Amino acid sequence: MMDANLRRDFNRLKNFSSRDWEALKRRQIRKYRRLLADEIARAEAGNLMTRARAEQLLMHHDSYGRLGEIMRFSAIMSRRSWLRLLGEEWTGLDNFFAWNDELRQLLPGRVTLLLMNKDERAAWRELPDIVTIYRGCSEVNLNGLSWSLCPEIASKFPTLARYKPPNGRQPLLVTAEVAKQRIIAVKLDRKEREIVTFHARQVAVEDLTSALAVCDIASVAR
Neighbours of 39 (CB within 10 A): 21
Contact status, residue 157 vs residue 184, Cβ threshold 8 Å: no
Give the tens place of pLDDT for each residue, 178-201. 999 999 999 998 888 999 999 999
Give the tens place of pLDDT for each residue, 199-211. 999 999 999 876 4
pLDDT at 109: 85
pLDDT band at residue 216 under the 50/70/90 scheme = very low
Neighbours of 30 (CB within 10 A): 10
Contact status, residue 63 vs residue 96, Cβ threshold 8 Å: no
Contact status, residue 94 vs residue 65, Cβ threshold 8 Å: no
In the chain, where do the E strands start and end?
130-137, 146-148, 172-179, 185-187, 194-196, 201-207
165 pLDDT exceeds 90?
Answer: no
pTM, two decimals, is: 0.77
Kindly state whether residues 80 and 50 are assigned to the same domain.
yes
Work out how many domains the chain is built from and give that number.
2
Kindly state whether residues 118 and 207 are assigned to the same domain.
yes
Q: How many CA atoms lie within 13 A of 9 on its CB side?
A: 4
Residue 68 per-residue DSSP state:
H
Kindly state whether residues 39 and 11 are assigned to the same domain.
yes
Kindly state whether residues 118 and 214 are assigned to the same domain.
yes
Kindly state whether residues 100 and 132 are assigned to the same domain.
no
Kindly state whether residues 60 and 141 are assigned to the same domain.
no
Residue at 137: amino acid letter: C
Give the tens place of pLDDT for each residue, 101-153. 999 999 988 999 999 999 999 999 999 999 999 999 888 888 889 999 999 99
The domain containing residue 21 runs over which residues? Answer: 4-106
Domain termination residue (choose one: 46, 81, 106) = 106
Kindly state whether residues 117 and 176 are assigned to the same domain.
yes
Give the tens place of pLDDT for each residue, 45-95. 889 999 999 999 998 889 889 999 999 999 999 999 999 999 999 989 988
Domain termination residue (choose one: 74, 106, 138) = 106
Kindly state whether residues 96 and 181 are assigned to the same domain.
no
Kindly state whether residues 84 and 35 are assigned to the same domain.
yes
- Bigger pLDDT: 180 or 38? 180
Domain termination residue (choose one: 51, 80, 106) = 106
Kindly state whether residues 42 and 118 are assigned to the same domain.
no
Kindly state whether residues 50 and 125 are assigned to the same domain.
no
Alpha carbon dihedral 69, 71, 72, 74, in 10-degree steps, equals: 130
Instruction: Measure the CA–CA gap between 139 and 59, rounded to whole angstroms.
Output: 33
Kindly state whether residues 120 and 43 are assigned to the same domain.
no
